[in-house]
Structure 1
Amino acid sequence: MNAIFHQNRTGCQWRMSPHDLPVWSAVFYYFRLWREDGLDQRIQELLRCQAREKARRSEDPSPVITDTRSVRAAAGVPRTTTGLDANKKVPGRKRGLAVDVLGLIIGVVVMAASAHDNAAGTALLDQAAERCGMRLEKVLVDQGFMGSGHRSRRSAGHRRQSRPPQPCRPGQRARPAAQAVSGRADERHADAPPASGP
């Protein structure tokens, strides 16, 4: 486990693992075996559920926040897996995250930067619906996801709802620009963190 943690933390090549850790081929064998079996995903889900319960929240979140970010690709990355984000003028890849209100990861997607945010949003919504089940009620999104006509197969019962950004009065909290699934932006949800004072 320490060798896997080291590789994950440093991003070094498997063959460049320090000598005080087990042989890289044995570590990579178990890493690949666990990844193909889905054990790494099950461990992540269990740790996420335990962290939520420790924070006195239900095991599965009802609101989920999604967003994407375009990042530059390294020089050796094949052009077939990268693209140009026309909006941000960034050549590379686009990564999307779905997190709960505690910032714990629900879903991850990586695609070419030329892909539209709606493609990433649909994939993230599928992952969130699969991992949160019937508890999922709201998905908070930004303006990049607005106007989507795409529908997720797993989230067929959800509808997307958007509203333009509202200016804030002094001392008022900012509202999300758009919101998917059901509910209004100004509703207080039981799973949302308490509002902080001005």
Structure 2
Amino acid sequence: MDVLGLVIAVVVLAASAHENTAGITLLDRVAAQTDTVHKALVDQGFKNAVVTHGARLGIDVEIVERNPADKGFVPQAKRWVVEQTYGTLALHRRLVRDYEHRPASSESRVHWAMSDVMARRLTGTSSPSWRGA
């Protein structure tokens, strides 16, 4: 996601895949699709392998660490954009559960949902038309 909460690239892997695998694959896709990304913020689940791989691609990867003094849930400033986007995308029925058998199908559903989110932002529509007035 970018700082506006728009999807730049999507990677869908099995739940058993390590976050480093997902991070490296995602960085490869981002680097292949755009040359304007120079910095990436990731959570603590990612390790130095992702940081090193990002440096090879010309992307500065920064691991956003939680303040050890914080107790309970405390939103991280930049990370909150990602969580908000996940919540917005989860409003789309096909993304609530994973009904797809192929990762490419799941990735296409995320792109469809993001297209809907962007269209709503451009038109000022706040709720789906099928919900009624």
Q: TM-score, normalised on structure 2?
A: 0.43
Larger relative contact order (CA 8 Å, sep ≥ 6): 2
Question: Which structure would you say has the larger Rg?
Answer: 1
Identify the structure with the greater strand proportion. Answer: 1
